[in-house]
Structure 1
Amino acid sequence: MNELRKLILFTAVTGMAFAGACQQANQKTESKTTNADKKTGYLSQPIISNIYTADPSAHLFNGKIYIYPSHDIETETKENDNGDHFDMRDYHILSMDSINGKVTDHGVALSIGDIPWAGRQLWAPDAAFKNGTYYLYFPVKDKSGVFRIGVATSKNPAGPFKAEPTPIKGSFSIDPAVFTDTDGASYMYFGGIWGGQLQRWNNGAYDKNGSKTDSQKENEPALSAKVAKLSSDMLSFDGEVKDVQLVDKQGKPLLTKDHDRRFFEGGWMHKFNGKYYFTYSTGDTHYLAYAIGDKPYGPFVYEGTFMKPVQGWTTHHSILEINGKWYIFYHDTQLSGKTHLRNVKVTELKHKADGTIEMIDPFVK
């Protein structure tokens, strides 16, 4: 594809230029995202329009749906591969009594100025409840520009939240997602390559001069999401950080060059019929993919994709069961047409009898 054609495609595709928390599309990505322009409408509408929201983590607390999203804002920072234009500074928590019901914006629950160790960029959070306390987990760059994961607490699911004075020891990168199993044990899944900096921790310590993308070892196993068991007080890791093992049906690890299947960012865990479903974004190919395992640590066998590319570069989701039905909360750029100003949506997610997930097309033909 020559440079002129690349430029034409780039201009035609709304919101597609850079990765959601990170990065720039490649030639293969351009051809895939142009499919969005061939649709005539959207499967779902934004649940709220008074602010821009993204990366929705949805939970059912006290019979009410609470959504913990990023709060996108306009910024003068130019778009770049590191995602510096995603310069979010606080979190707003949303709630609703039912799917498609009235949404309440509870206002600022945590601001970057309330986090003693924070530098900039409050990216995708998650929340959990245990022992009468609500926990808000968040990634933010520290004052030296390294992403760490912090935790804040509240007695109210809508906040306000008070941040702990230091990040979780041993945490790094982005996109914390906390899963509590039926036995009461809680696990945090986290990590993201490119602007999420996961590749800069490849040797166990942060390398500020490390790769800007991935391991750059195309024929070796791809960098993996991480998982750590949480302590009983939910404020620290209980044991070592482990790799989330993603393998194909022959038991072989997915490779770095396999952009349609390998992990990029935005991991989530849900359990269905006794099986553990690790779902995630493939990033520069814009799919939501899933892999199934028998234990919280995996290994997880890659099963396929379950959501086609949305409008915009990033795709980030959560999955929640409500009254026997399953729903996916996600985002696109319908309201703004800008990759860094997104809006949260929700639609039903269906598991088939064989345990696979039905494909979701975010557009109506």
Structure 2
Amino acid sequence: MNKLTKKELALLLSFPLLLAACSGGAKQEAEKEADGAFKGAISKPLVTDIYTADPSAHVFNGKIYIYPSHDIDAGTPENDNGDHFDMKDYHILSMDSIGGAVTDHGVALDIKDIPWAGRQLWAPDAAFKDGTYFLYFPVKDKQDVFRIGVATSKSPTGPFKPEPKPIEGSYSIDPAVFTDTDGNSYMYFGGIWGGQLQRWKDGKYDANGSKTDLEDDKLPSLNAKIAKLSPNMKEFAEAPKDVVVVDKDGKPMLTGDHDRRFFEAAWVHKYNGKYYFSYSTGDTHFLAYGIGDSPYGPFTYQGAFMKPVVGWTTHHSIVEQNGKWLLFYHDTEVSGGKTHLRNVKVTELKHDANGKIEMIDPYSKK
């Protein structure tokens, strides 16, 4: 199947993009389809008074803290680069357990307080070490290049104070920090298209480079990056490396393999001594994963584990609390299908007897 057809199918899976292309009776019919999907949703939005997306969840001191993007309707025209995702700050959510009350702790970091920031405060993550909480965030600098910054606090809910400069050697989007059982921490990051990862393919930023890496289906696809963090959690201890994801024959994923290849939203969790690297396939909206024996991989592709949500792409996190594994994700139920106004949800994630992640259909409720 050629690339154009795959992208057309992806658009059909994304009701909001279909709405934008419809009018009159066709638009009403598409709205009914979206409403029908939400009626079968397996979980409800965690909060409805603000829009939240891209949830990075962690358990600190037995309690769940969620570090999401804060979607707003900024009035920015929609385009392929995602300029309409024009976020300005972060709110942190917390809950004692799934099904319990969710607390919005208010603004934890505002873009105006980041000295080097230009625009677009995208999906963050958090970590904890030696009494300090670290908030990692991507934002475009004043030259409109995505970099990754870090801010600190003595509280998991902030407020967070940003460092005066971005992390040296950082770029692109979607930082995700995994701390291994030996205490070493690693940052995974990167996203193509509006996330600019393809502009760094030769090690230096090329503003006039390829729009994406989707221009030659037969080339190996771009993958996320990984860098070990220094002991102070504010710097890279090494130059970023490619995360290696291969198929079961040991071959790399190809650019045209839209249902399996990495697009954005890297996450790592450890289960029964194995490392699980999961990610979004982006324009086809699946969550997929590979399993490896090292934080660096190689990760052998295992399959998709979540079907597409209603809304553009999927961004998730996986965390364990009290022996139960949880998947945090988002869709667009609160906004009725607007791609840039999303809401965070959670459902249980299960590993089978062989360690495989069982498939989740976000709209399979009977």
Partner residue, 2:175:
176
* 1:198-257 residue CA offsets vs partner (Å, 9 max, x unmatched): 000000000001112216232121001000000000000001210000100010000111
CA contact (8 A) 2:13 2:310 kept: no
Question: Cα distance, 1:16 vs. partner?
Answer: 3.5
CA contact (8 A) 1:259 1:282 kept: yes
Give the letter aligned to residue 243 of structure 1: D
Partner residue, 1:357:
357
The answer on 1:122 being equivalent to 2:121 is yes
SS in 1 for 2:283: helix
Could you say if the C-alpha distance between residues 213 and 17 of structure 1 is closer, same or farther in structure 2, counting changes exceeding 3 Å? farther
Partner residue, 1:101:
100
Partner residue, 2:188:
189
Partner residue, 1:326:
325
CA contact (8 A) 1:326 1:348 kept: yes
CA contact (8 A) 1:152 1:164 kept: yes
Hey, what's the Cα distance between the residues in 2 that align with 1:254 and 1:165?
A: 38
Could you say if the C-alpha distance between residues 347 and 10 of structure 1 is closer, same or farther in structure 2, counting changes exceeding 3 Å? closer
Partner residue, 1:57:
56
Matching of residues 289-328 of structure 1 within 5 Å: 289-328=288-327
Hey, what's the Cα distance between the residues in 2 that align with 1:262 and 1:114?
A: 36
The answer on 1:284 being equivalent to 2:283 is yes
SS in 1 for 2:275: strand
Structure 2 portions without partners, runs of 5+: 1-6, 20-31
SS in 2 for 1:285: coil
CA contact (8 A) 1:81 1:195 kept: yes
CA contact (8 A) 2:226 2:241 kept: yes
* 1:257-304 residue CA offsets vs partner (Å, 9 max, x unmatched): 111110000000000000000000000111000000000000000000
TM-score normalized by the length of structure 2: 0.91
Give the percent of matched residue pairs that are identical in Structure 1 and Structure 2.
73
Partner residue, 2:342:
342
Partner residue, 2:28:
none
CA contact (8 A) 2:108 2:158 kept: yes
Question: Cα distance, 1:15 vs. partner?
Answer: 2.1
Give the letter aligned to residue 112 of structure 1: I
Hey, what's the Cα distance between the residues in 2 that align with 1:147 and 1:275?
A: 31
Partner residue, 2:67:
68
CA contact (8 A) 2:284 2:313 kept: no
Give the letter aligned to residue 169 of structure 1: E
Structure 1 portions without partners, runs of 5+: 1-5, 19-33
CA contact (8 A) 2:146 2:171 kept: yes
* 1:294-321 residue CA offsets vs partner (Å, 9 max, x unmatched): 0000000000000000011121000000
Could you say if the C-alpha distance between residues 249 and 37 of structure 1 is closer, same or farther in structure 2, counting changes exceeding 3 Å? farther
**Equivalences, count:** 346
Question: Cα distance, 1:11 vs. partner?
Answer: 9.3
Question: Cα distance, 1:13 vs. partner?
Answer: 5.5
The answer on 1:271 being equivalent to 2:270 is yes
Give the letter aligned to residue 311 of structure 2: G
Give the letter aligned to residue 351 of structure 1: H
Give the letter aligned to residue 225 of structure 2: K
SS in 2 for 1:361: coil
Partner residue, 2:164:
165
Partner residue, 1:212:
211
Give the letter aligned to residue 284 of structure 1: D
Hey, what's the Cα distance between the residues in 2 that align with 1:321 and 1:54?
A: 20
CA contact (8 A) 1:112 1:120 kept: yes
Hey, what's the Cα distance between the residues in 2 that align with 1:217 and 1:183?
A: 40
Hey, what's the Cα distance between the residues in 2 that align with 1:303 and 1:135?
A: 31
* 1:43-73 residue CA offsets vs partner (Å, 9 max, x unmatched): 1000111100000000011111100000000
CA RMSD of the aligned region, Å? 2.2
SS in 2 for 1:283: coil
SS in 2 for 1:189: strand
TM-score normalized by the length of structure 1: 0.91
CA contact (8 A) 1:199 1:215 kept: no
CA contact (8 A) 1:70 1:125 kept: yes
Question: Cα distance, 1:14 vs. partner?
Answer: 3.1
Give the letter aligned to residue 356 of structure 2: T
CA contact (8 A) 2:189 2:226 kept: yes
Partner residue, 1:16:
17
